[in-house]
Chain A
Amino acid sequence: MLQETGTEWLSQEVKTGTTIIAVEFDGGVVLGSDSRVSAGASVVNRVMNKLSPLHDKIYCALSGSAADAQTIAEVVHYQLDVHSIEIDEDPQVRSAATLVRNISYKYKEELSAHLIVAGWDRRDGGQVFATLSGLLTRQPFAVGGSGSSYVYGFVDAEFRRGMSKEECQQFVVNTLSLAINRDGSSGGVAYIVSIDEHGTEEKVVLGNDLPTFFDQ
């Protein structure tokens, strides 16, 4: 079984093999992510928060290459800062998603990251945008990262429009837990961020508090 001599991880790219999810509800959004960062077979960080703020009420979820994703998030955070001062109001979620998409598309050959952008603004309420490979599309919910493949069936079956904030949070936690169980590159704790008109709330659900399913 053990064919590796154990030092390959030093030279392999650091990926956030991941599960990320964002869901829209009436009045806001809920984002969720796991916390595992891997380099090959080695877990280099088991508590990384992959939900990165772009503005007060706009967050993005990182997946793919850790460096690429973080850098895109930091650049867009800066651009939105400048933009919100220029227009003298809070930026739209669509603006944040467009900025992320513009970078992802322009450098698509060099970068390997997928960011899901979600937040709340006063015009259109809660919104979730997927920006995979440089497209831009608004969706009721989005999943991403290596763990997402294992939960497409679950989210397709369980998602309903018109859920409340608490139901969305439970839906997100369930999805993350199932993905973490099956995907080797996802694990650790679950980070949940809920954004609505009144503010932003960050929460951590520790490993042993995650919901359990048939195999536990």
Chain B
Amino acid sequence: MSSIGTGYDLSASTFSPDGRVFQVEYAMKAVENSSTAIAIRCKDGVVFGVEKLVLSKLYEQGSNKRIFNIDRHVGMAVAGLLADARSLSEVARDEASSFRSSYGHDIPLKHLSDRVAMYVHAYTLYSAVRPFGCSFILGSYDKDDGPQLYMVDPSGISHGYWGCAIGKAKQAAKTEIEKLQMKEMTCRELVKEVAKIIYIVHDEVKDKAFELELSWVGEVTNGRHQLIPEEVRQEAEKYAKDSLEEEDDSDEDNMRWHVSQRLHSTAPAAGESPTERGAFRDKPQGTMLSLQFNHGIV
């Protein structure tokens, strides 16, 4: 969907003739250049996972965090320009703190999300400022209202979700998330799945080293947002790495199966995948081998 809005894209206070505000769209592209962050809401909490690319071996481990704490019960995972995201995390913290001061209790997540989204939206109205180049996901857990998950994007829209992904591999991540039955899972089960999804969508070729940032908030943490404890994290990473190896093995098996199908079948079996090339419709003896790669992702 890339189009150049020459002449109409210089300021956020200008519409294009087809009704678009290009500066906001460009801001969203900035988010798509960043590495992936996902969050999933399950029946007793919310789990965040971020693929934090390590650009230099000289960085201290754990620096440039992408998951923030906003008040005790709210976590925020970000993608996009990190400096913009940090500034917004301060805005969110001020909102939460001022709410607590005026009303005496934790800020409801929908209200916090609305307030920060309004703030982000305000920066899309004027030519004197530029829109924020980051999307972020807010999650919290409350014993009366249960787990909640909201996502805000640079246009200032906020929606509630059961699972969402932002960043470069968000489409692939969303596909994986949709496969999960998150409404029936607990946080402990979900941590492993989140780690697995991040490992799946990570592109080994283009991006090398990455750190997996994981955090959760739910009944298991008594409503406090925290980074995942060490043993849980190790279990999750191990599960993720093991599942990836299994998939690689099963890919090879798949290839062998398909090859043998070509050799032995005389006619295409019902339900053959349409991506197979090979003219075995014309050559029933299957002399053409079509190799099908079953890499699930990116």
Contact = CB atoms under 8 A, between A and B. Distances in A.
Interface of A: 83, 86-89, 91-92, 94-95, 97-99, 102, 122-123, 136
B104 A136 contact: yes
B119 to A, nearest CB: 15
Contacts, number: 30
Contacts of B104: 92, 94-95, 97-98, 136
A87 B105 CA distance: 13
A99 B103 contact: yes
Contacts of B65: none
B103 A98 contact: yes
Contacts of A83: 103
| In the A-B complex, the 5 residue pairs with the closest CB atoms | A98-B104, A95-B103, A94-B104, A87-B111, A123-B144
B205 to A, nearest CB: 47
B2 interface: no
Contact of A99 (B102, B108, B110): B102
Contacts of B105: 92, 94-95, 98
Interface of B: 101-105, 108, 110-111, 114, 144
A86 B144 CA distance: 19
Residue in B102, B103, B111, B144 whose Cβ sees the most chain A Cβ within 10 Å: B103
A95 B103 CA distance: 4
A79 to B, nearest CB: 8
A88 B102 contact: no
A98 B111 contact: no
A97 B105 CA distance: 11
A75 to B, nearest CB: 13
A98 B102 CA distance: 7
B118 to A, nearest CB: 11
Contacts of A86: 111, 114
B167 to A, nearest CB: 30
A214 to B, nearest CB: 43
14 contacts: A83-B103, A86-B114, A87-B110, A87-B111, A89-B108, A91-B103, A92-B104, A94-B103, A94-B105, A98-B102, A99-B103, A102-B101, A102-B102, A136-B104
